[in-house]
Amino acid sequence: MSDIVERSNTVQRTVRTPDTRHAKRAAFLKWLRKTHGWVGLWAMALTLLFGVTGILQNHRVSLKAETPKPSTVHVALPGAEVAGTPDALAEFLRAQLGLDRAPDRIRREPARRMPWGDRSIMQPERWEIRFAAPDYIVTAEYWKGENAVEVKRQPRGPIGTLEGLHKALGTSLAWALLSDSVAVGLVFLSLTGLLLWLKLERRRAIGTAVLLVSVAAAISLAIASL
- The single-letter code of the amino acid at 140 is A
Closest Cα to residue 44, out of 208, 200, 185?
Answer: 185
pLDDT in tens, 108-167: 999 988 888 788 888 899 999 999 999 999 999 999 989 999 999 999 988 889 889 988
Q: Is the dihedral of CA 212, 218, 222, 224 positive or negative?
A: positive
Burial of 123 (0-12, 13-18, 19+ CB in 10 A): middle
Percent of the chain with pLDDT over 90: 45
pLDDT in tens, 8-53: 455 444 445 667 888 888 888 889 999 999 999 999 988 998 888 8
**What does residue 202 show for φ and ψ, rounded to 5 degrees?**
-80, -25
Whether the Cβ atoms of residue 144 and residue 83 lie closer than 8 Å to each other: yes
Give whole-number Cα distances, 185 to 14, 29, 35, 101, 174, in Å: 40, 18, 11, 29, 16
Closest Cα to residue 105, out of 75, 144, 137, 76?
Answer: 137
Give whole-number Cα distances, 74 to 21, 40, 93, 148, 190, in Å: 74, 49, 11, 6, 51
